[in-house]
């Protein structure tokens, strides 16, 4: 289990989950992270409503497997949270709140190669197509998050595998694509955006 | 066929398409809209690389069916452009360039009800979760685009059905969800962002 920085989290974050699609079936509310939904009496999560705050959902318990950013709104089916079709994740097994920065204060750096080497670029805005702003290839070797939380995506337009990057985790340092997430298989990253509270 | 405002477009936009996944098979380059790829000697488009400019791809010929925003980068498989899994679109049959505004000058208004009625809100930034900024429900009844091009999505986090909204089309006015696109079945819109050149 990863370290949870939940100090000051309670009272703001709220998510309602159901064990069936369409916001139906057995229902439960959470105001903090859930390491394993099964232990909370739900076999798996198949739909949800984020009431407040930003969350990240995981394919497996213990905050493992594919990651899915969850912002305020309704997620009636798995295709609402997943942009990855090659590898389906129809149910979530764990989820936790994310600490964001003020939208204008989010900042991160991307590097061409692992261990913060090669060409670099500072980001403080959303980039649906990294190559449009002059990034020369379809890969990012390593990243440092100075402020806030970000989502990186495999494909342009916020599609494909998602990697949630936070300044509160890994001390904001992601030195190799294997640190992007337990599901990362390549360093392909073609769009990046800030997480909105 | 819809009206094409292609004046001044040539020389900037460029897309390369292939009839097989993985940027393989029969290949063709385009610098302006393609009404029907079949007439250009390709049975259907299964992968592509946007070299410059922003484009919109369509499920059917004649710029009909599901719409997919295409920004600079690689799209090796259909899941790279589609966030909709309930209704697969594994190949594209037409595509065209999009005229964007300077990122900072994009502006649109959303309305609670059709025909620009009810509560309204002006947007000039990206909103991965409309409800986070106080929009009270998961639907948008009608929209007016004052400047630039925008993508609206069915679900939060830029997922689900996509609707490309342009100030150059429909005089920027989308009075009813049926005008959002030929594939629109509801007025459910939970995230909106600007298109980046």
Q: Per the structure block, which two tokens stand in for B153?
A: 């999505």
**Hey, are the CB atoms on B72 and A126 less than 8 Å from each other?**
no
> Mind telling me how many Å the CA of B71 is from chain A's nearest CA?
6
Scan for tokens 């495999």, then name that residue.
A154
> Mind telling me how many Å the CA of B190 is from chain A's nearest CA?
7
Residue-averaged pLDDT of chain A? 89
Task: Give the whole-angstrom CA distance, residue A38 versus residue A46.
Answer: 13
| Averaged pLDDT for residues A88-100 | 91
- pLDDT, residue B76, reads 92
Low-confidence spans in chain B with pLDDT less than 50: 1-8
Identify the contact set of chain B against chain A, taking CB-CB distances under 8 A: 50, 69-75, 77-86, 126-132, 138, 151, 154-160, 190-191, 193, 195-197
Nearest CA in chain B to A78: B85
Nearest CA in chain A to B162: A157
Q: Per the structure block, which two tokens stand in for A135?
A: 């990034």
- pLDDT, residue A6, reads 41
Q: Per the structure block, which two tokens stand in for A184?
A: 């990362």
Identify the contact set of chain A against chain B, taking CB-CB distances under 8 A: 50, 69-75, 77-86, 126-132, 138, 151, 154-160, 190-191, 193, 195-197
**Hey, are the CB atoms on A158 and B158 less than 8 Å from each other?**
yes
Mutation site, A48, A66, A128, A162, interface B, largest B CB count within 10 A: A128
Nearest CA in chain A to B154: A80
**Hey, are the CB atoms on B73 and A129 less than 8 Å from each other?**
yes
A94 pLDDT above the threshold of 50: yes
> Mind telling me how many Å the CA of B44 is from chain A's nearest CA?
20
**Hey, are the CB atoms on B85 and A78 less than 8 Å from each other?**
yes
pLDDT in tens, A45-66: 999 999 999 999 999 999 999 9
Mutation site, B48, B80, B126, interface A, largest A CB count within 10 A: B80
Could you tell me the pLDDT band of residue A169, with boundaries at 50, 70 and 90?
A: confident
| Averaged pLDDT for residues A113-125 | 95
Scan for tokens 């590097």, then name that residue.
A111
Q: What angle do CA A170, A197, A171 make, to 5 degrees?
A: 10
**Hey, are the CB atoms on A79 and B73 less than 8 Å from each other?**
no
pTM over 0.90, yes/no: no
- B53 neighbors B95 (Cβ within 8 angstroms): no
Query: Reduced to 3 states, what is the DSSP secondary structure of residue B138?
Result: coil
Number of residue pairs across A and B with CB atoms under 8 Å? 128
- pLDDT, residue A4, reads 40
Scan for tokens 């929209």, then name that residue.
B143
Tell me which residue of B169, B191, B173, B194 sits closest to B106, measured CA to CA. Answer: B194
Cβ neighbours of A90 in B, within 8 Å: none
Tell me which residue of A168, A164, A156 sits closest to A183, measured CA to CA. Answer: A164
Nearest CA in chain A to B196: A128
Task: Give the whole-angstrom CA distance, residue B68 versus residue B188.
Answer: 17
Tell me what percent of the residues of chain A surpass a pLDDT of 90.
Answer: 71
Supply the DSSP string of A12-39, one letter for each residue: T-EEEEEEETTTEEEEEEESS-BS-GGG
**Hey, are the CB atoms on A70 and B190 less than 8 Å from each other?**
no
- pLDDT, residue B8, reads 43
Cβ neighbours of B75 in A, within 8 Å: 155-156
Q: Per the structure block, which two tokens stand in for A147?
A: 């402020």
Which of B80, B157, B197 faces A132 most closely, judged by CB atoms? Answer: B197
What radius of gyration do chain B's Cα atoms show?
16
pLDDT in tens, B115-132: 999 999 999 989 999 988
pLDDT in tens, A60-83: 999 999 999 999 999 998 888 886
Residue, of A31 and B133, whose pLDDT is higher? A31
């Amino acid at each position: 289990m990863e370290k949870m920085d939940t100090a000051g989290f309670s009272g703001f974050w709220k998510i309602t989950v159901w064990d069936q699609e369409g916001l139906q079936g057995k229902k439960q509310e959470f105001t903090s992270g859930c390491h394993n939904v099964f232990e909370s009496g739900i076999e798996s999560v198949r739909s949800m409503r984020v009431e407040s705050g930003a969350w990240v959902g995981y394919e497996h318990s213990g905050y493992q497997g594919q990651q899915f950013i969850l912002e305020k709104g309704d997620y009636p089916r798995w295709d609402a949270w997943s942009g990855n079709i090659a590898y389906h994740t129809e149910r979530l097994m764990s989820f936790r709140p994310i600490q964001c920065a003020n939208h204008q204060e989010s900042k991160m750096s991307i590097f061409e190669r692992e261990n913060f080497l090669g060409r670099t670029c500072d980001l403080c805005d959303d980039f649906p197509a990294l190559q449009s702003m002059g990034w020369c290839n379809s890969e990012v070797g390593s990243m440092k998050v100075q402020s806030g939380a970000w989502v990186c995506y495999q494909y342009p337009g916020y599609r494909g595998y998602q990697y949630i990057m936070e300044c509160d985790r890994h001390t904001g340092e992601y030195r190799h694509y294997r640190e992007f997430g337990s599901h990362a298989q390549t360093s392909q990253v073609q769009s990046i955006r800030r997480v909105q509270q």
